[in-house]
Amino acid sequence: MPRTLDAIDLEILRILARDCKATIKDLSAQVGVSPPVVRKRIRRMKSWGLIKGCTPLLDPEVLGATSYIIVFEFRGHQSIRKVFESNPEIEKVYLSTPKRLGVMVVRVLDVKRLDTISRNLEDSGAKVVSTAIVDDESLERTWLPERPLETVQPKCAFCGSPIIGRPYKVTLEDGTILLFNSEDCAEAYFTLRTRKRTNK
């Protein structure tokens, strides 16, 4: 499994970035390769963790939400993850470990929720540096490299860390390929999945 991103992959990604519901048939016609080739390439890029999903882009302002950015200094990723999970108003979090600096984008209907989130952050050991309202967010795009890449760094489907060296590969019955750092990560992944299923 070569870990390169060629011009065909990039073209597929460019189309999907504009319209993630483009069908295999559409992609095949536009890129000029056969449907099985398109399918195979998409599967491979999914297995790298490169294509993360297909989510509708909503405009929160239409729903009456106000957007804020919160800049904070943090201690641990785990505690920030907990704050994120317990506050659905947090849309995005960016963390920079070397400087222990984080930014989050928050959408709230009621400004009081902003205080709750700030308090949750402080309780997690983080320090809120600044909170500011967002009054212009017209600039956004799905980033893609401009040219083909020699190497692509896939991520482990269980722990999310970059896979260095040979990945541990699992092909599911439906053809989905999953890549892991090691057999241990694969085992942990399937144990968790079975547990989640039996809980439902």
Binding-site ranges for Zn ion (CB under 5 A)? 156, 158-159, 181, 185
Least distance from Zn ion to the Cβ atom of residue 157, Å: 8
Least distance from Zn ion to the Cβ atom of residue 140, Å: 31
Q: Rounded to an integer, what distance in angstroms lies between the CA atom of residue 76 and that of residue 96?
A: 11
Burial (CB count <10 Å: 0-12, 13-18, 19+), residue 140: exposed
* Nearer to Zn ion (CB atom), residue 74 or residue 180: 180
Residue 82 phi, psi dihedral angles, 5° rounding: -65, -45
* Nearer to Zn ion (CB atom), residue 5 or residue 185: 185
Residue 67 phi, psi dihedral angles, 5° rounding: -105, 145
Nearest to 71 by CA among 118, 122, 14, 131: 131
Q: Rounded to an integer, what distance in angstroms lies between the CA atom of residue 155 and that of residue 167?
A: 9
Tokens of 36: 């099985």
* Nearer to Zn ion (CB atom), residue 27 or residue 178: 178
* Nearer to Zn ion (CB atom), residue 68 or residue 158: 158
Least distance from Zn ion to the Cβ atom of residue 168, Å: 9
Least distance from Zn ion to the Cβ atom of residue 190, Å: 12
CA dihedral 122, 127, 129, 130 (to 10 degrees): -10
Length in residues, the chain: 200
* Nearer to Zn ion (CB atom), residue 50 or residue 159: 159
Least distance from Zn ion to the Cβ atom of residue 192, Å: 12
